[in-house]
């Protein structure tokens, strides 16, 4: 399965998935988005009833409902409530410009994300813009062991470290490092009262391949800074030698077939042997998408950057698998 | 062989502010109601020649509407999560709105009157509730399903009510004095469309996993399953034309319509005939009452009229907008359709007198 749709991205409605543990500030952020003068008409689907304190006809309640499509494999689960409600809502698509899905604090983001790639209707009508995860700097350490917290961090394209006013700089930095160890590729924002620039949250284009990579170069150098023993972690590889696309594809398809449920997200910017164009790829569980991007620019450092975020990752096995793909 | 006469040569049309979601005729064909994704509800009284917008654009969708069999009530449900009811006093009398009934179950998109009675089934989250028009109140008993109810269908005799959700179809006999346990059958995915056959006691379910399930008789736990559709099976329509076996069944999946006919009683007895013509999603299917004439509506901006052998008799155009909904007048001689930009159409059919079908009622009021 791939991310592709027959319909060009520009014709599909952008969707932002907003996650975060209980009390992280999702509702505050939503209220900000709904009242902010950003010129966008935003429709919101909420799973926690009555939380959004704004009377708005485009705030719609939905009761979270997981549809297992295929033997209960996590990679094939989608959200039936979203399919039904968005199907109804899309008859009015000329009335709004952006859709936000607010998940409950305990929701697994994967079925929400997969819905927009797996469901035949939504795939052609919407495009996932980004997964935005709020982190409660004040309380996250108490919840760190919760599986949901680590998964919500792992799936994020944008991480908002909220309530910065309630923690001292050193604990903020410690949390930031721990968050970075789980997810090195998300855009990191810091806020108090969820006061973040809306243009950093909406219109991110994180799932568009050409914009998919915003790797933090600092992290890539610093790939062994593991102080925490979290179940969810990441590995990042940088390789100066060109790669072989055939071997890489084979390795990745075997990898997701075997470890798909534990591989949350992967992103890669690949330098291929004998190609003047960059190759970009990304994945969510077993969904993989890859394509040629623009040509390398003159003077641009040609190299491969590859990040894997998952549960119980075997760094050495992944490294040798990756290195075997060098051309 | 002479060319068949043109079926449609004139039309009536009008405009709402938002996409038409559904249309519905009263049993006597005197009233037509049209609902939109903005919550507009237009009521047309053909005998008296008047129309009234019962509700204007509120930007809150209405998704299912219908007249009770006796013409006493018009109902509507949608995004607001309320059951809206109007009491009708007959032609020339303005419908009177009753107090809205909130259900507290989120967006409502399936509600269906009993074919000959006054029970209204409403899908409300994981329950089917029944509003009793005779007593003007909710019945205390409900049908519970393990997931959100996706589709409803009454048997033609009004005794059985089928409801589907992810992985289950349930059939309830709400009017049986002894409250039977509902009959439940597991399915592989969500049932998106349900339809009892007009005769022969079959139940069809169009599934999200691109399959069609067909129970030859209710109570048979193992349905026939037909897989390999190009997309979700989202619309079903049974013909009311009698045949040696089951009546023909039209099925919409993606941009194709498939006409299924039963050749013998075995599991291999059903033969599909694809009707390939539409270029985008087929959104609605309806057989003309009393005639072997199928209408198919598509997001590609066309309605196809197909004869009983699956030949395209006439294409109808949507003037630049896709079609969302279809409804035949009960006389089978007028077809109403709704567009995704708010336009509605009414096409009288030039059907020769004496051609197959029930005695038609007069088409008074149409120009």
Tens-place pLDDT, residues A295-310: 998 888 899 999 999 9
Greater confidence (A4 vs A271) lies with: A271
Yes or no, beta carbons of A63 and B147 under 8 Å apart: no
How large is the average pLDDT for residues A25-39? Answer: 87
- Using a CB-CB distance cutoff of 8 angstroms, which residues of chain A are in contact with residue B189? 67, 69
Instruction: Label residue B222 by pLDDT band (50, 70, 90).
Output: confident
Yes or no, beta carbons of B166 and A65 under 8 Å apart: yes
What pLDDT is recorded for position B363? Answer: 39
Give yes or no for B64 touching A (CB within 8 A).
Answer: no
- Kindly state whether residue A3 falls inside one of the protein's structural domains: no
Strand partners, B45: B31, B50
Residues A177 and A279 in one domain: no
- Using a CB-CB distance cutoff of 8 angstroms, which residues of chain A are in contact with residue B79? 60, 88
DSSP A241: S
- Kindly state whether residue A194 falls inside one of the protein's structural domains: yes
| Shortest Cα–Cα distance, A57 to chain B (Å) | 7
Using the CB atoms, write b or e for A142-180: b if 16+ within 10 Å: ebeeeebbbbbbbbbbbbbbbbbeebeeeebeebbebbb
| Shortest Cα–Cα distance, A91 to chain B (Å) | 6
Domain boundary among A160, A176, A207: A207
Decide if pLDDT at A130 tops 90. Answer: yes
Say which of A69, A91, A121 has its CB closest to residue B61. A91
What pLDDT is recorded for position B97? Answer: 97
- Smallest CA–CA distance from A67 into chain B, residue: B166
Decide if pLDDT at A217 tops 60. Answer: no
What pLDDT is recorded for position A271? Answer: 94
B107 closest CA partner among A140, A171, A261, A63: A63
Contact residues of A toward B, CB < 8 A: 57-58, 60-63, 65, 67, 69, 80-81, 84-85, 88-89, 91-92, 95, 120-121
> Which tokens sit at B193?
């469309």
Yes or no, beta carbons of B148 and A60 under 8 Å apart: no
Yes or no, beta carbons of A60 and B107 under 8 Å apart: yes
Instruction: Label residue A16 by pLDDT band (50, 70, 90).
Output: very high
> Which tokens sit at B168?
């289950």
Say which of B18, B37, B79 has its CB closest to residue A60. B79
Greater confidence (B110 vs A55) lies with: B110
Beta-sheet pairing, B31-36 with B41-45: antiparallel
pLDDT tens digits along B21-65:
999 999 999 999 999 999 999 999 999 988 999 999 999 999 999
Yes or no, beta carbons of A91 and B340 under 8 Å apart: yes
Decide if pLDDT at A52 tops 70. Answer: no
- Using a CB-CB distance cutoff of 8 angstroms, which residues of chain B are in contact with residue A88? 37, 61, 63, 79, 107, 109
Residues A63 and A117 in one domain: yes
How large is the average pLDDT for residues B177-184? Answer: 81
The share of chain A scoring above pLDDT 70, in percent, equals 89
Residues A316 and A194 in one domain: no
Greater confidence (B266 vs A171) lies with: A171
Domain boundary among A147, A175, A207: A207
Give yes or no for B315 touching A (CB within 8 A).
Answer: no
Give yes or no for B150 touching A (CB within 8 A).
Answer: yes
A105 closest CA partner among A59, A56, A64: A64
Mutate to test the interface with A, among B59, B284, B343 (most CBs of A within 10 A): B59
- Kindly state whether residue A212 falls inside one of the protein's structural domains: no
Yes or no, beta carbons of A57 and B59 under 8 Å apart: yes
Please report how the helices A315-323 and A245-259 are oriented relative to each other, as an axis angle in degrees rounded to 10: 150
What pLDDT is recorded for position A221? Answer: 47
Instruction: Label residue B281 by pLDDT band (50, 70, 90).
Output: very high
- Give yes or no for a contact between B204 and B214, defined as CB atoms under 8 angstroms apart: yes
- Give yes or no for a contact between B122 and B111, defined as CB atoms under 8 angstroms apart: yes
Decide if pLDDT at B286 tops 60. Answer: yes
How large is the average pLDDT for residues A40-45? Answer: 92
Decide if pLDDT at A254 tops 90. Answer: yes
- Kindly state whether residue A171 falls inside one of the protein's structural domains: yes
pTM of this structure: 0.92
- Using a CB-CB distance cutoff of 8 angstroms, which residues of chain B are in contact with residue A111? none
- Using a CB-CB distance cutoff of 8 angstroms, which residues of chain B are in contact with residue A95? 18, 59
- Kindly state whether residue A1 falls inside one of the protein's structural domains: no
- Kindly state whether residue A300 falls inside one of the protein's structural domains: yes
Give yes or no for B208 touching A (CB within 8 A).
Answer: yes
Residues A167 and A271 in one domain: no
What pLDDT is recorded for position B353? Answer: 60
Say which of B19, B189, B340 has its CB closest to residue A69. B189
Residues A227 and A194 in one domain: no
How large is the average pLDDT for residues A237-249? Answer: 94
B123 closest CA partner among B81, B84, B68: B81
Yes or no, beta carbons of B209 and A69 under 8 Å apart: yes
How large is the average pLDDT for residues B276-285? Answer: 96
Yes or no, beta carbons of B231 and A81 under 8 Å apart: no
Decide if pLDDT at B314 tops 90. Answer: yes
Instruction: Label residue A69 by pLDDT band (50, 70, 90).
Output: confident
Decide if pLDDT at A229 tops 90. Answer: no
- Using a CB-CB distance cutoff of 8 angstroms, which residues of chain A are in contact with residue B18? 91-92, 95
| Shortest Cα–Cα distance, A72 to chain B (Å) | 11
DSSP A263: E
Instruction: Pick the range with the lowest mean pLDDT from A2-11, A71-80, A229-238, A244-253.
Output: A2-11
A14 closest CA partner among A202, A200, A209: A202
Yes or no, beta carbons of A92 and B340 under 8 Å apart: no
Strand partners, A131: A17
Q: ipTM of this model?
A: 0.92
Decide if pLDDT at A80 tops 70. Answer: yes
Say which of B107, B148, B208 has its CB closest to residue A88. B107
Q: In what order do the strands lie in the sheet with A277-284?
A: A232-239, A304-311, A263-271, A277-284, A287-295
Q: Residue A36: in which H helix or E strand, if any? A: none
Instruction: Label residue A7 by pLDDT band (50, 70, 90).
Output: confident
What pLDDT is recorded for position A214? Answer: 53
How large is the average pLDDT for residues B108-134? Answer: 97
- Smallest CA–CA distance from B167 into chain A, residue: A67
Instruction: Quote the domain boundaries for residue A242.
Output: 217-323
The share of chain B scoring above pLDDT 90, in percent, equals 81
pLDDT tens digits along A144-187:
888 889 999 999 999 999 999 999 999 999 999 999 999 988 99
Residue A67 maps to which CATH number? 3.40.50.300
Yes or no, beta carbons of B18 and A81 under 8 Å apart: no
Residues A225 and A202 in one domain: no
Residue A302 maps to which CATH number? 3.30.1220.10
What pLDDT is recorded for position B174? Answer: 92
Residues A236 and A160 in one domain: no
How large is the average pLDDT for residues B269-298? Answer: 96
Size of interface A-B (CB pairs under 8 A): 60
- Smallest CA–CA distance from B106 into chain A, residue: A61
Residues A104 and A184 in one domain: yes
- Give yes or no for a contact between B359 and B28, defined as CB atoms under 8 angstroms apart: no
How large is the average pLDDT for residues A30-44? Answer: 87
How large is the average pLDDT for residues B328-332? Answer: 96
- Kindly state whether residue A2 falls inside one of the protein's structural domains: no
Q: Residue A121: in which H helix or E strand, if any? A: helix A120-125
Instruction: Label residue B364 by pLDDT band (50, 70, 90).
Output: very low
Q: What is the rounded distance in angstroms from the CA atom of residue A123 to the CA atom of residue B185?
A: 30
DSSP assignment of B97-121 equals: EPPPEE-SSS----EEE-SSSSEEE
What pLDDT is recorded for position A17? Answer: 97
Instruction: Label residue A55 by pLDDT band (50, 70, 90).
Output: low
Domain boundary among A176, A207, A238: A207
Greater confidence (B84 vs A33) lies with: B84
Q: What is the rounded distance in angstroms from the CA atom of residue B87 to the CA atom of residue B72?
A: 6
Say which of B21, B147, B190 has its CB closest to residue A91. B21
Q: How many CA atoms lie within 13 A of B278 on its CB side?
A: 32
Instruction: Label residue B149 by pLDDT band (50, 70, 90).
Output: very high
What pLDDT is recorded for position A220? Answer: 54
What pLDDT is recorded for position B11? Answer: 76
Residues A99 and A221 in one domain: no
Asked whether the CA dihedral A30, A32, A33, A34 is positive or negative, the reply is positive
E runs forming strands in A53-157: 59-61, 66-68, 77-79, 98-102, 126-136
What pLDDT is recorded for position B266? Answer: 78
Residues A37 and A126 in one domain: yes
Mutate to test the interface with A, among B22, B64, B125, B190 (most CBs of A within 10 A): B190
pLDDT tens digits along A266-294:
999 999 999 999 999 999 999 998 888 88
Domain count, chain A: 2
How large is the average pLDDT for residues B264-283? Answer: 91
Yes or no, beta carbons of B324 and A91 under 8 Å apart: yes
Yes or no, beta carbons of A95 and B107 under 8 Å apart: no
Mean pLDDT score of chain B: 91
Instruction: Pick the range with the lowest mean pLDDT from A216-220, A225-229, B355-359.
Output: B355-359
Decide if pLDDT at A114 tops 80. Answer: yes
Residues A269 and A245 in one domain: yes
Residues A47 and A163 in one domain: yes
């Amino acid at each position: 399965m791939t991310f592709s749709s027959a319909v060009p991205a520009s014709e599909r409605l952008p969707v932002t998935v907003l996650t975060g543990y209980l009390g992280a500030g999702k509702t505050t952020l939503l209220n900000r988005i709904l009242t902010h003068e950003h010129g966008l008409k935003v429709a919101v689907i909420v799973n926690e009833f009555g939380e959004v304190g704004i009377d708005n006809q485009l705030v719609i309640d939905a009761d979270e409902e997981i549809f297992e499509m295929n033997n209960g494999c996590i990679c094939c689960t989608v959200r039936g409530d979203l399919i039904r409600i968005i199907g109804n809502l899309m008859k009015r698509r000329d009335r709004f410009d952006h859709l936000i899905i607010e998940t409950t604090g305990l929701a697994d983001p994967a079925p929400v994300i997969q819905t927009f790639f797996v469901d035949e209707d939504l795939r052609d009508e919407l495009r996932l813009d980004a997964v935005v995860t709020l982190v409660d700097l004040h309380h996250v350490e108490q919840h760190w062991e919760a599986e949901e917290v680590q998964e919500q961090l792992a799936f994020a394209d944008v991480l908002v470290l909220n309530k910065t006013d309630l923690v001292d700089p050193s604990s903020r930095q410690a949390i930031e490092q721990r968050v970075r160890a789980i997810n090195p590729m998300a855009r990191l924002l810091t806020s108090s009262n969820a006061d973040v620039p809306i243009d950093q949250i909406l219109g991110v284009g994180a799932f568009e391949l050409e914009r998919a990579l915003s790797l933090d170069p600092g992290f890539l150098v610093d790939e062994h800074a593991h102080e925490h023993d979290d179940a969810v972690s990441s590995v990042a590889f940088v390789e100066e030698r060109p790669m072989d696309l055939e071997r890489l594809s084979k390795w990745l398809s075997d990898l997701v077939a075997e470890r798909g449920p534990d591989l949350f997200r992967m992103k890669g910017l690949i330098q291929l042997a004998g190609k003047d164009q960059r190759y970009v790829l990304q994945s969510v569980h077993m969904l993989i998408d890859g394509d040629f991007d623009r040509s390398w620019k003159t003077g641009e450092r040609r190299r491969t950057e590859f990040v894997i975020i998952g549960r119980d990752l075997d760094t050495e096995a992944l490294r040798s698998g990756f290195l075997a793909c060098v051309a | 062989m002479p060319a068949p006469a043109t079926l449609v040569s004139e039309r009536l049309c009008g405009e709402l502010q938002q996409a038409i979601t559904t249309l519905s005729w009263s049993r006597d064909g005197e009233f037509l109601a049209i609902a939109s994704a903005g919550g507009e509800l237009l009521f047309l009284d053909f005998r008296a020649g008047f129309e009234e917008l019962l509700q204007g654009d509120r930007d809150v969708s209405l998704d299912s509407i219908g007249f009770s069999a006796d013409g006493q009530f018009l109902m509507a449900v949608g995004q607001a999560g309320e059951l809206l009811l109007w009491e009708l006093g007959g032609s020339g009398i303005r419908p009177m709105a009753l107090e809205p009934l909130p259900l507290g179950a989120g967006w409502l998109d399936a509600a269906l009157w009993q074919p000959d009675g006054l029970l209204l089934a409403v899908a409300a989250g994981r329950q089917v509730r029944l509003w009793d028009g005779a007593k003007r109140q909710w019945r205390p008993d409900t049908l519970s399903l393990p997931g959100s109810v996706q589709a409803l269908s009454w048997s033609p005799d009004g005794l059985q009510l089928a409801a589907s959700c992810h992985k289950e179809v349930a059939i309830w006999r709400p009017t049986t004095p002894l409250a039977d346990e509902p009959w439940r059958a597991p399915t592989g995915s969500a049932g998106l469309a349900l339809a009892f056959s007009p005769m022969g006691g079959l139940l069809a379910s169009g599934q999200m996993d691109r399959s069609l399930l067909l129970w030859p008789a209710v109570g048979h736990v193992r349905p026939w399953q037909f897989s390999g559709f190009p997309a979700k099976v989202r619309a079903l329509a049974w013909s009311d034309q009698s045949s040696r076996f089951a009546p023909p069944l039209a099925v919409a999946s993606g941009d194709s319509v498939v006409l299924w006919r039963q050749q013998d009683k075995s599991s291999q007895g059903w033969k599909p005939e694809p009707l390939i013509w539409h270029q985008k999603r087929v959104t609605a299917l309806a057989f003309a009452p009393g005639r072997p004439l199928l209408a198919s509506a598509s997001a590609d901006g066309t309605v196809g009229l197909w004869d009983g052998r699956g030949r395209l008799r006439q294409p109808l155009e949507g003037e630049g907008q896709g079609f969302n909904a279809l409804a035949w007048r009960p006389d089978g001689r007028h077809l109403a359709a709704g567009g995704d930009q708010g336009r509605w159409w009414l096409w009288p059919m030039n059907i020769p007198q004496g051609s197959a079908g029930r005695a038609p009622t007069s088409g008074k009021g149409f120009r």
